[in-house]
Amino acid sequence: MAAHLKKRVYEEFTKVVQQQQEEIATKKLRLTKPSKSAALHIDLCKATSPADALQYLLQFARKPVEAESVEGVVRILLEHYYKENDPSVRLKIASLLGLLSKTAGFSPDCIMDDAINILQNEKSHQVLAQLLDTLLAIGTKLPDNQAIQMRLVDVACKHLTDTSHGVRNKCLQLLGNLGSLEKSVTKDAEGLAVRDVQKIIGDYFSDQDPRVRTAAIKAMACKLLSDDYEQVRSAAVQLIWVVSQLYPESIVPIPSSNEEIRLVDDAFGKICHMVSDSSWVVRVQASKLLGSMEQVSSHFLEQTLDKKLMSDLRRKRTAHERAKELYTSGEFSSGRKWGDDAPKEEVDTGAVNLIESGACGAFVHGLEDEMYEVRIAAVEALCMLAQSSPSFAEKCLDFLVDMFNDEIEEVRLQSIHTMRKISNNITLREDQLDTVLAVLEDSSRDIREALHELLCCTNVSTKEGIHLALVELLKNLTKYPTDRDSIWKCLKFLGSRHPTLVLPLVPELLSTHPFFDTAEPDMDDPAYIAVLVLIFNAAKTCPTMPALFSDHTFRHYAYLRDSLSHLVPALRLPGRKLVSSALSPNIMPHEDPSHQFLQQSLERVYSLQHLDPQGTQELLEFTIRDLQRLGELQSELAGVADFSATYLRCQLLLIKALQEKLWNVAAPLYLKQSDLASAAAKQIMEETYKMEFMYSGVENKQVVIIHHMRLQAKALQLIVTARTARGVDPLFGMCEKFLQEVDFFQRCFIADLPHLQDSFVDKLLDLMPRLMTSKPAEVVKILHTMLRQSTFLHLPLPEQIHKASATIIEPAGESDNPLRFTSGLVVALDVDATLEHVQDPQSTVKVQVSYPDGQAQMIHPKPADFRNPGPGRHRLITQVYLSHTAWTEPCQVEVRLLLAYNSSSRIPKSPWIEGGEMSSQVETSIEGTIPFSKSVKVYIMPKPARR
């Protein structure tokens, strides 16, 4: 009896433990009911083992399913699910259900019951988790259906007690997503339920598994900020940030007192506290997030820069405060006495709060962090906050200036850039300027140039400041003569921003004397030019200044106005005619005479197309010449002028080619001369690629014209080949290709065809049916006549067009000392170039190295080698590796920059042209390169290796 009882007792104890292995029993698929909606079913029937079934399901998952058949498929899947014993197959089915319920146009509410049903019977944890995921998909699909949402939340709550962390995770996710959805939709009535959800999730903050904790906190909000795991803290920081962004204005109580503050301020304080976390990952994140909390109140914001100093329990002023005080009291900083920083008043020991829970000193800590990642993040955050708050900008200035002395160049550079961005809001004090200017001696070119940019837009408060800046810039100039252009530009802006401050300095700067004439300075001295640039730019808005100039200054002005017109503005000088036509900046570009000239000359060309060929040619030649000169004179019109000139040159070439005698004489006689026509065709092709890819701002209208011109060139090529080539066989292929291209042109630019009235292509398309059926010889003949008859298309000028250009600064190509290296090994050549108006230089700009033996090498610089100092400008600083076998004596290799293009990139994509068809076409993508910088010669000498 007792034994019997005992057995029973133990049976009850061991009942509940569910082992997954039990489920892996014999697996066989038995599906009987045939279905029409999908082939899937048959596949599943055929499957004899779980592995097979899994394979079929995987295949099935790759194909899209139409909305109307989704339900049928789901039914089959569910049916199969019930019979399936293998958890992995069930898992796959569950995930498929989720995918299917996301199908557009399918309302998943009908499968929800089934999904919840199977959920209740499911034993495998993984499948459970997957099913919950599916439910989540369903729930998010039906955001409006309150009943379903509530039901799903119920289900999730039930499974929260599961032993597997995966299932708990999913439940929390479900709760988080659907619970918060509820919140945004519902009103007070459901408010209770919402709070319930939050509380449930809150309970899981203390779950034993860190993964579950991470999920819990991601689902809602602050005690986890002090969790042991950095991932949890990191998620907590993010969460708080999100909450603060969602409800910035809600009021939260402070736990220890009965005060209340805005949520965003509270969150700001908490995140600030995390800036001194022990994990640098969290610190970086916290610093970054601070930057985006712009709604925080200024009181809290300013605390971040506040750090109460204390020495031996007495209040001490920071060096910043002292510097400011010295400055305001008019003394120069002595700093010579030991007691200079002596502490002042006693601090009330009770009032000192050593760990402020609030924002105090967050940035002071962040900027002093050990990891430069944190420092950079802090600088970025400062930048963003300062941009939105001028008063904060003023306050953070001292700290940014300090960062100019960071040990890592990246940080210095970043802080200089930051300062530039906020410089509209601030005026530099003299002592700050002093520190800023000290950086001008930095040996890194990037830093110096960034600083020049900064000075361009800085406000200086005193004339001493201007003087100091000028002196330091000149010092910089003597130390690094390569900075010349950048310094001149900087002085230009410095002058035009502070005319009244420059005015009192003029006599000293020009070293004029009231009674004596002084020696005329050297006109070629870059330092003197720098001073003049500063003065002339200041004089532009200060009419009294020219009175202080001496005679030679005026002469120099005239010279500089001509030679450095981009740096020296037009001045209204007393008693003199304006050297250049006075342009007040208000004149619209269209009223600008040079622009008018451009317009007129182009009009002339376009209207006079029925002139005799000789006259047309001359007119074209003259216009091209005019345009080129105009481009040289007026830098702002250079792009337009060059662009139009190139187009006209193409036209000219085309006319010239058609005027060839070749056409009048029997083909066999003119083999040699035909070179001219085919060369013209080739050149036109090249020019059209240049037009298409070397200019930024080219619009669709222009692209059509350019393509049209290219089509003409191709036609020319075809007829020249027809004339010169023997036999008909090659012609067949060419004709066919040409016609395909015409077809392609038509399809790409269908929208623009109405604008091309009377043009070559217009006529061509009219004759297309005939051409398709004609023999090659016939085609060529038609093309020839059409080319001759076609009119000259008007090229509409784009608003803004700039020619891409590049200048190689380094290597300078002047060195006589060859670069020696052992053959077979590599030598690194530093290349430094500025790129103007290049779009996406990272992918298009390449460096070409051509060796004397004709070998050419193309090098693709790393994306990180490009810097972007200003809009439309890029700087390429890279290393090119050269190598060669041994030479007997030093030779020069040429280095130049190329612009790579891909013709498919510019073609407008019409919605009805499918991508697949496009790629099968002949003209898909012609890739090529355009050289766009002068080549530089480098003397190198590969020596044979010594053994």
Is 337 among the residues that bind other proteins (CB under 8 A)?
yes
Give least dist CB 730 to other proteins, A: 59
> For the range 407-411, what are the long-range contacts, defined as Cβ-Cβ under 8 Å and sequence gap of 24 or more?
408/372, 408/375, 409/444, 409/446, 409/447, 410/372, 410/376, 411/372, 411/375, 411/376, 411/379
Is 331 among the residues that bind other proteins (CB under 8 A)?
no
Nearer to other proteins, 408 or 578 (CB): 408
Give least dist CB 343 to other proteins, A: 9
Nearer to other proteins, 312 or 551 (CB): 312
Residue 404, C-beta contacts closer than 8 angstroms, at least 6 positions apart:
412, 415, 416, 435, 436, 438, 439
Give least dist CB 354 to other proteins, A: 4
8-state DSSP, 794: P
Is 311 among the residues that bind other proteins (CB under 8 A)?
yes
Give least dist CB 410 to other proteins, A: 11
Is 403 among the residues that bind other proteins (CB under 8 A)?
yes
Q: How far apart, in whole angstroms, are the C-alpha atoms of residue 607 and residue 594? A: 20
HSE-CB of 324 using CA atoms within 13 angstroms: 10
Is 435 among the residues that bind other proteins (CB under 8 A)?
yes
Applying CB under 8 A, the span of 435-443, 636-644, 649-657, 727-735 interacting with other proteins comes to: 435-443
For other proteins, which residue of 121, 184, 332, 338 counts as binding (CB under 8 A)?
A: 338
Residue 427, C-beta contacts closer than 8 angstroms, at least 6 positions apart:
459, 460, 461
Q: How far apart, in whole angstroms, are the C-alpha atoms of residue 500 and residue 460? A: 11
Give least dist CB 442 to other proteins, A: 5
Q: How far apart, in whole angstroms, are the C-alpha atoms of residue 618 and residue 612? A: 10
Residue 567, C-beta contacts closer than 8 angstroms, at least 6 positions apart:
488, 489, 492, 533, 537, 560
Q: How far apart, in whole angstroms, are the C-alpha atoms of residue 243 and residue 159? A: 27
Is 313 among the residues that bind other proteins (CB under 8 A)?
yes
Nearer to other proteins, 258 or 278 (CB): 278
Q: Please, which residues bridge with residue 808 across strands?
A: 833
Is 276 among the residues that bind other proteins (CB under 8 A)?
yes
Nearer to other proteins, 17 or 519 (CB): 17
Give least dist CB 405 to other proteins, A: 5
For other proteins, which residue of 68, 113, 441, 520 counts as binding (CB under 8 A)?
A: 441
Is 319 among the residues that bind other proteins (CB under 8 A)?
yes
Nearer to other proteins, 13 or 912 (CB): 13
Is 299 among the residues that bind other proteins (CB under 8 A)?
no
- CB 806 within 8 Å of CB 897: yes
Applying CB under 8 A, the span of 351-359, 518-526, 821-829, 850-858 interacting with other proteins comes to: 351-359
Nearer to other proteins, 340 or 699 (CB): 340
Q: How far apart, in whole angstroms, are the C-alpha atoms of residue 477 and residue 485? A: 10
Is 14 among the residues that bind other proteins (CB under 8 A)?
yes
Nearer to other proteins, 354 or 547 (CB): 354
Give kind and range of the element (H or E) at residue 316: strand 314-316
For other proteins, which residue of 60, 106, 268, 399 counts as binding (CB under 8 A)?
A: 399
- Give me the residue label for tokens 């967050």: 362
Give least dist CB 391 to other proteins, A: 21
Nearer to other proteins, 15 or 36 (CB): 15
Nearer to other proteins, 206 or 298 (CB): 206
Applying CB under 8 A, the span of 13-21, 29-37, 93-101, 715-723 interacting with other proteins comes to: 13-21
Nearer to other proteins, 340 or 618 (CB): 340
Nearer to other proteins, 371 or 578 (CB): 371
For other proteins, which residue of 408, 751, 768, 777 counts as binding (CB under 8 A)?
A: 408
Q: How far apart, in whole angstroms, are the C-alpha atoms of residue 386 and residue 379? A: 10
Q: How far apart, in whole angstroms, are the C-alpha atoms of residue 132 and residue 208? A: 21
Applying CB under 8 A, the span of 10-18, 490-498, 838-846, 848-856 interacting with other proteins comes to: 10-18
Q: Which backbone phi and psi does 463 adopt, to 5 degrees? A: -70, -30
Nearer to other proteins, 340 or 603 (CB): 340
Is 318 among the residues that bind other proteins (CB under 8 A)?
yes
For residue 946, the tally of other CB atoms under 10 A from its CB is 5
What DSSP string runs through 438-467?
HGGG-S-HHHHHHHHHHHHT-EE-SHHHHH
Give least dist CB 310 to other proteins, A: 4
Nearer to other proteins, 122 or 373 (CB): 373
Is 308 among the residues that bind other proteins (CB under 8 A)?
yes
Q: Which two tokens stand for residue 176?
A: 């988080």
Q: Which two tokens stand for residue 858?
A: 């193309």
Applying CB under 8 A, the span of 171-179, 301-309, 752-760, 904-912 interacting with other proteins comes to: 301-309
Q: How far apart, in whole angstroms, are the C-alpha atoms of residue 390 and residue 397? A: 11
Residue 289, C-beta contacts closer than 8 angstroms, at least 6 positions apart:
237, 238, 241, 271, 381
Q: Which backbone phi and psi does 269 adopt, to 5 degrees? A: -60, -40
Question: How many residues of this chain bind other proteins (CB under 8 A)?
Answer: 60
For other proteins, which residue of 355, 547, 588, 864 counts as binding (CB under 8 A)?
A: 355
For other proteins, which residue of 75, 102, 320, 467 counts as binding (CB under 8 A)?
A: 320
- CB 796 within 8 Å of CB 858: no
For other proteins, which residue of 125, 316, 492, 690 counts as binding (CB under 8 A)?
A: 316
Q: Which two tokens stand for residue 175?
A: 């709760």
Percent of residues in the chain assigned helix, strand, coil, to nearest 5: 60, 10, 30
Residue 324, C-beta contacts closer than 8 angstroms, at least 6 positions apart:
429
Give least dist CB 479 to other proteins, A: 7
Give least dist CB 406 to other proteins, A: 8
Give least dist CB 348 to other proteins, A: 11
Integer-rounded Cα Rg, in Å, for the chain is 38
Q: CA-CA distances (angstroms) from residue 817 to 82, 824, 836, 882, 938?
A: 83, 20, 31, 16, 9
For other proteins, which residue of 191, 335, 507, 824 counts as binding (CB under 8 A)?
A: 335
Q: How far apart, in whole angstroms, are the C-alpha atoms of residue 341 and residue 314? A: 12
Is 2 among the residues that bind other proteins (CB under 8 A)?
yes
Residue 478, C-beta contacts closer than 8 angstroms, at least 6 positions apart:
527
Nearer to other proteins, 366 or 546 (CB): 366
Answer left, alpha or beta for residue 330, where phi above 0 means left and psi between -120 and 50 means alpha: left
For other proteins, which residue of 163, 581, 614, 888 counts as binding (CB under 8 A)?
A: 163
Q: How far apart, in whole angstroms, are the C-alpha atoms of residue 274 and residue 359? A: 10
Nearer to other proteins, 314 or 513 (CB): 314
Is 370 among the residues that bind other proteins (CB under 8 A)?
yes
Is 9 among the residues that bind other proteins (CB under 8 A)?
yes
* Nearest CA-CA partner of 938 in 805, 806, 807, 810: 810
Site string for other proteins, 187-226 (x = CB under 8 A): -------------------x-x------------------
Nearer to other proteins, 56 or 363 (CB): 363
Is 278 among the residues that bind other proteins (CB under 8 A)?
yes
The site for other proteins (CB under 8 A) is made up of 1-2, 5-6, 8-9, 13-14, 16-17, 161, 163, 206, 208, 228, 276, 278, 307-313, 316, 318-320, 335-338, 340, 349, 352-355, 361, 364, 367-372, 399, 402-403, 405-408, 435, 438, 441-444, 479
